[in-house]
Homo-oligomer: A and B are copies of this chain.
Amino acid sequence: MQNQLSHIKVAVDAIVFGYSKQDGVSVLLIQRKYPPFKNSWAIPGGFVLEHESLETAVKRELEEETGITVNYLEQLYTFGEPERDPRQRVIAIAYFGLVKASMYQELKASTDAENAQWFSIKKLPPLAFDHKQILQAAIARLRSKIRYQPIGFELLDKKFPFSDLEKLYTALLDKDINRRNFSKKILSFDFLEETGEVSKPDGKGRPSKMYQFNQKRYRELLKEGFHFEI
């Protein structure tokens, strides 16, 4: 095997989720400029360079195509059916990323991102290749993972009112949540801390305390055998 060449190409894709109170959970898509599927919406991604790690490749492609930097990234699944790309055999290692609400707002301003756009996961456009299937796998991962790992905080701002967290969970889990029991449960975990600030009420109602996720405390709890579960 003297550096043989392969007929199979290796690509990475990035399914990036963002959140806002107005639009709920959204995913970042780009519009294709060239055939096949010209002008279709697609998941950002591209081919892996010979000496670059898979994660580096995802981050690079994401930066090039959308200008976005994620604050959470994990491997999702590898899609490799022989016919998934009509041109030639391409296997795609899909990654799952999250960005904070502040980054979500910034996309509009970026110049790299002229053909990148957020789509609410409730109103998705038709997608190129097998990207519908990939996106569905990512949404399933997000929905299940948010129940046993505190990744919800990666979608909110650093400091947030408690109701934001509750709205996020309501948006992702279908059943509606009992406000009282939800707050009792989350606060009993003891990894949220009050910042001392309060939110100015937008319009009406009592202002709420601002909280932030204490990552260090969470890691300590994990070491003690703690298990997060909603």
Which of A's residues lie within 8 Å of B, judged by CB?
1, 3-10, 47-48, 50-54, 75, 77-78, 80-82, 87-89, 91, 93
With A48-B91, A75-B77, A80-B93 already in contact, 4 other A-B pairs whose C-beta atoms are closer than 8 Å: A3-B87, A4-B9, A6-B9, A6-B10
Contacts of A47 in B (CB 8 A): 6
Number of copies: 2
**Complex Cα–Cα for A68 and B6 (A):** 28
Q: Tell whether, in the assembled complex, residue B7 and residue A80 are in contact, meaning their CB atoms are under 8 Å apart.
A: no
Quick check: A53 and B75 within 8 Å, CB to CB?
A: no
Alpha-carbon separation in the docked complex, A88 to B1 (Å): 9
Which B-chain residue is minimally distant from A93 (CB atoms)? B78
Query: Which residues of the other chain, B, contact A3 by a CB distance below 8 angstroms?
Result: 7, 87-88
- Known contacts A5-B7, A9-B6; is A78 also within 8 Å of B81 by CB? no
Q: Which residues of B contact A53 (CB under 8 A)?
A: 80-82
Contacts of A7 in B (CB 8 A): 3, 5-6, 50
Q: Are B88 and A4 in contact (CB under 8 A)?
A: yes
A87 CB to nearest B CB, Å: 6
Chain B residues with Cβ below 8 Å from A82 are: 50-53
